[in-house]
Chain A
């Protein structure tokens, strides 16, 4: 009986969307100090879905190991953010630049 319950619990946990690994604390701190404007934009407009550490379940990871490997440069990331993010509403061009620099910084520091 107990084994069955443990298996059910493990199954439920497996079905729930899991978060990908977050970036290191030290990386986050350094990126926030170097790009405070981008960190602020991310916290205000992006963190509610992606999580403050960019690895929330149910959304694409934007921080952490291999998170931005699909982008080969910061301008490429900036173009994507400017076209697609956030899903509702828009960011000002300077906000797009700032948040892209911040995310790229986190990716490069890892």
Chain B
């Protein structure tokens, strides 16, 4: 491609973006913010949604049991994840059921082991969500108590071990481990508060119980393996620029408790994963089709992870089809 063509492409892109931003359209705020609290979740003003996301993750290091970070040297860890998800309201605007299924393509070149790749499903999840309290979406006015009320959406669900767990891996590198290996039941709440007409804070917290499962022991028989409990939290700031564009920045943390084998707790096996990211969304065919780009990172900083074999950076693109009443 010649330099002139590159410059022309840049000019064209800038003009298109500028024209798009200049349209006199205002925020589609609450649909965007309430739908941003999870993949496949239906936004408040929609009836249903289908979404597909393609993500590329590249490992850059690992965290040990004491939270110390080590860069991956002489190793390559690459994952491509295609996630399909969606949700639908159950006859009433308050209730929705939603879920997602990932398909993972994983590659490991771990120095000393033969490079290997594997494809398999990840863990599928399904959830039920209820909008218990609704924000007026006016922004906060200190003189009116009603404007402090947020959206409050409790949810429950299960994650199924449709992916192969680490204990079921048949390869030395564990490249074929695409899931947790255990059923997980989870419950949580998503709280969305509009600080202004276009700016929202979204806080999602959940607790999960990972059911014990049997793992074949090396000398025959089976061992009862429990991967413990899980706590997740995610805080996002969402800015709806106009009817078409929105963006967000977020931080998330996932804790899992110590593993237990045959009822005996394994010390120093708890995990912690802190992640930061940002996303940009754009309606391409309003209100039906939406495209998104996001990037996220496990920061390579001591203490931001614990027992994470592959800390990673990822980029993802998303396409979502919304359905209206």
Q: Which residues of A contact B (CB under 8 A)?
A: 1-2, 5-6, 8-10, 12-13, 18-23, 25, 28-29, 32-33, 36, 39-40, 43-49, 51-53, 55-58, 86, 88-89
Contact = CB atoms under 8 A, between A and B. Distances in A.
Contacts of A5: 8, 11-12, 15
Interface string B168-186: 0000000000000000000
Given A10-B15, A28-B197, A44-B44, A51 B30 contact: no
Contact of B27 (A10, A36, A48, A53): A53
Contact of A51 (B4, B28, B46, B144): B28
Contacts of A49: 287, 324
Contacts, number: 119
B110 to A, nearest CB: 48
Contacts of B29: 52
A55 B44 contact: no
Contact size class for B? 35 or more
Q: Say what secondary structure dominates the interface of chain A.
A: helix
A44 B92 CA distance: 10
A48 B31 contact: yes
A58 B15 CA distance: 22
A37 to B, nearest CB: 11
Contacts of A23: 26
Interface stretch (B56-64, B130-138, B202-210, B308-316): B130-138
B146 interface: yes
Interface of B: 4, 7-8, 11-12, 15-16, 19-20, 23-31, 44-47, 93, 134, 136-139, 141, 144, 146-147, 197, 243, 286-287, 322, 324-325
A51 to B, nearest CB: 6
B28 A52 contact: yes
B146 A36 contact: yes
A47 B243 CA distance: 11
